[in-house]
A and B are shown apart, each in its own frame.
Chain A
Amino acid sequence: MRALLRSAALLLPCAVSLAGSCGREAQVAAGTSADLARARLERPAQRIVPSSARALEFAAALVGPERMAGLPEQGFEYATLGEDEQRFAALPRFYAYLAEPVLALRPDLVLGDPWQPGDTDARLRQAGVPVIVIPPTLGWSEAARVLEQLGRLLGEERRARQVVTALEQRVAALELERAHRAGLRALPYSNFGSQGFSAGTGTTLHEVLVLAGLSNAAAGAGHHGHVPMGFEELLVLDPDLIVVSAPLHTAAGPAGDRGGASEQVLLSEPRLAGLRAVRERRIVALPPGLFACASHLVVEAAEVLGREVDALLLPGAAAAGEPGR
């Protein structure tokens, strides 16, 4: 009993201190809402730290590197930053989204991501740093809404409106040109020698395919999310074309720079030689950043995919307006 009381006496101050720290966190968090739609900042952020590739892509669409304090290493590898890439490359980077390396950048705003650890968000808020989590987006319209909300948060409403308008025009152009790809069945595929995977509904890859005017063969087979896919199902689906990712690391030479291991597996596996996409070399390699993108860049991914598909399958069809099949 005495031991129990002694333990309680030791634990009590710890519990009080923990409760105090929770209260402090709530106090700091009350200054702003973690919800992007309702969040407001007292001053426009000048030292923004995106926590992921998609947070970086959203932020980079609205502000330049001069308003960012640092980038996640992985985010920089995967993010598609276009012409500004060199300017962003000069920014300091952190390897993992942990409180200490992020705090070392002295941010005045962290753009969180639901896929990043919530613990880090909580610690940063506890340290007085506003963390606004960018909600998950699948299609381009959800991404456009995020851009508008982020524009309001960063004081860049006009820029956000311009970006969204440009996106709307690009989507309208995609809608016009995708008619000639209607009916083409595409399958996202990935295989690094251990097991094959594909992506069904509820993935950004599915949205990219649909935006490009292609039908997703995996979704047609009832798959949702990223799913394992064996050779048997691949043979049963027999898609018109297969979409793979170019490797993230490009040291593997010319073939690797194109479709990487996934393309090599498809082309070299004798049991897949009967696939239409393999027989007719209809394998499209998307850059890894676009293959994995989860931001407004789904539109760019669809444009790149559309161009690749047209070049591969329909050299004259785009101009002549012929049907895909």
Chain B
Amino acid sequence: MSLTRRRRLPAPLVAAGLVALLAVLVPVSVHVGVAELETREIVRGVLAELGLASPLGGAAQTIVGLRLWRALTAAGVGAALALAGGLVQGVFRNPMAEPSLLGVNAGASLGAAVAILALGGYAPRGVLEQAGGVATFVVPLCAFVGALAAVLFVALLAAPHGRLSTPTLLLVGIALNLCVAGIFAAIQSLTLRNWEVGRAILAWSFGTLDDRSRLHAATVATGLLLALAAIPLVARELDLLQGGEADAQGLGVDVARTRIVSLVAAALAAACAVSVAGQIAFVGLVVPHVVRLLCGASHRTLLWLSALLGSVFLLGADLAPRLLLGEGILPPGVTMSLVGGPFFLLLLVRHRREVGAW
């Protein structure tokens, strides 16, 4: 991936446009739902969620809270996945790389499946009494632990003597994905007999933003903020790394540090995102490409703008089917796959010349 100097649009202008879009999409998302609520109620409910007003009566406050945290979780997950994608593509110097290469998605899937199995009664006696009380948090928690465990496993195997090898990391990541995919498929196959548990595992693998809470939003915000904090530490270095490892070292880049910081940031962001929203495909792959086409390939703008565009992308992908088809018809992971793939193909076809230069 060579560094393209030509920028199609000024980054600040694109950033301002994306912030404006976010400022529109979040309120619209909070406005859309099954319950009919007046705008005045929604505004007061949102302020109450933020501790700035007294809560609404009855179920209205809970409903506004559900919508607000869903919108913020969607925005956070989109940003985290897109940023993780930008970081991973920068480290691997490969535009086809995405966070799942680190084993994040595979580990999270396995963790979530184990939690659902435990809740489904497959765990030893007494586990459900303990886990059932916090069932809606058990699945994301186990997914998060699974994601981090998978990343650690990949990192340990890829850096046996403390020196991280990118090709080894790539191969170990692919191998782990295959192993976990096998285990996950075995779990799905075995639970086909238990249709409720099988359906719950399948639903998680489609990705979901239903019933998100303050804790879900806080989880993804934590991962996102940590990853955003890493941008100033690695953006310039990643730009220099695109010309080759030796050249970057010659220019004073600590390549090992850049890789580790970038991958840890990407892994944290992706793990937090996947654990609260399930499998959401294409955001980490497509969004950095769109930013490259809009504003060029410099990581100093690419990473920030990817986070912003990722927010807008996922929020839109969550909102559009809810507005057009109704609640619960298409999960966001499915929408992303349906829209993301063809959109990505269209981009590649329309911008063949620029893509050839990456």
Which A residues are within 8 Å of any B CB, using their own CB? 73-74, 77, 190-197, 227-233, 235-236, 238, 245, 247-256, 260-261, 263-265, 268-269, 271, 274, 288, 292
A195 touches B203 (CB 8 A): yes
Partner of A255, one of B115, B128, B138, B139: B128
B129 touches A261 (CB 8 A): no
Is B169 located at the chain interface by the 8 A CB criterion? Answer: no
Contacts of A190 in B (CB 8 A): 196, 199-200
A253 touches B119 (CB 8 A): no
B138 touches A292 (CB 8 A): no
Is B27 located at the chain interface by the 8 A CB criterion? Answer: no
Chain B residue total in the interface (Cβ 8 A)? 50
Contacts of B112 in A (CB 8 A): 194
Is B184 located at the chain interface by the 8 A CB criterion? Answer: no
Partner of A248, one of B135, B139, B194: B194
A269 touches B62 (CB 8 A): no
A253 touches B139 (CB 8 A): no
Whole-angstrom distance between the Cβ of A190 and the nearest chain B Cβ = 5
Q: Which residue of B lies closest to A259 (CB)?
A: B132
The answer for the CA separation of A245 and B200 in the assembled complex, in Å, is 14
Q: Which residue of B lies closest to A273 (CB)?
A: B62
Is B136 located at the chain interface by the 8 A CB criterion? Answer: yes
The answer for the CA separation of A21 and B196 in the assembled complex, in Å, is 39
Q: Mark B134-162, 1 if CB is under 8 A from A, else 0.
A: 11101100000000000000000000000
Contact (A228, B194) CB under 8 Å given A196-B211, A255-B132, A261-B128: no
Is B208 located at the chain interface by the 8 A CB criterion? Answer: yes
A264 touches B132 (CB 8 A): yes
| Contacts beyond the supplied A195-B211, A261-B119: 10 A-B pairs with Cβ under 8 Å | A190-B200, A194-B278, A230-B34, A232-B34, A232-B67, A247-B120, A253-B129, A261-B135, A264-B128, A264-B132
Whole-angstrom distance between the Cβ of A291 and the nearest chain B Cβ = 8
Partner of B125, one of A228, A232, A252, A265: A252
Contact (A193, B116) CB under 8 Å given A236-B59, A256-B128: yes
Is B317 located at the chain interface by the 8 A CB criterion? Answer: no
A274 touches B59 (CB 8 A): yes
Can you list 15 A-B contacts (CB < 8 A)? A232-B33, A232-B34, A235-B62, A248-B120, A248-B194, A248-B197, A249-B122, A251-B121, A252-B123, A253-B129, A256-B121, A256-B128, A261-B135, A263-B132, A264-B128
Q: Which residue of A lies closest to B206 (CB)?
A: A195
Partner of A274, one of B58, B132, B278, B327: B58
The answer for the CA separation of A169 and B124 in the assembled complex, in Å, is 43
The answer for the CA separation of A230 and B328 in the assembled complex, in Å, is 8
- Which residues of B37-89 are within 8 A (CB) of A? 58-59, 62-63, 65-67
- Which residues of B296-326 are within 8 A (CB) of A? none
B133 touches A195 (CB 8 A): no
A271 touches B65 (CB 8 A): yes
The answer for the CA separation of A247 and B210 in the assembled complex, in Å, is 23
Q: Mark B341-354, 1 if CB is under 8 A from A, else 0.
A: 00000000000000
Is B92 located at the chain interface by the 8 A CB criterion? Answer: no
Partner of B136, one of A251, A255, A265, A288: A265
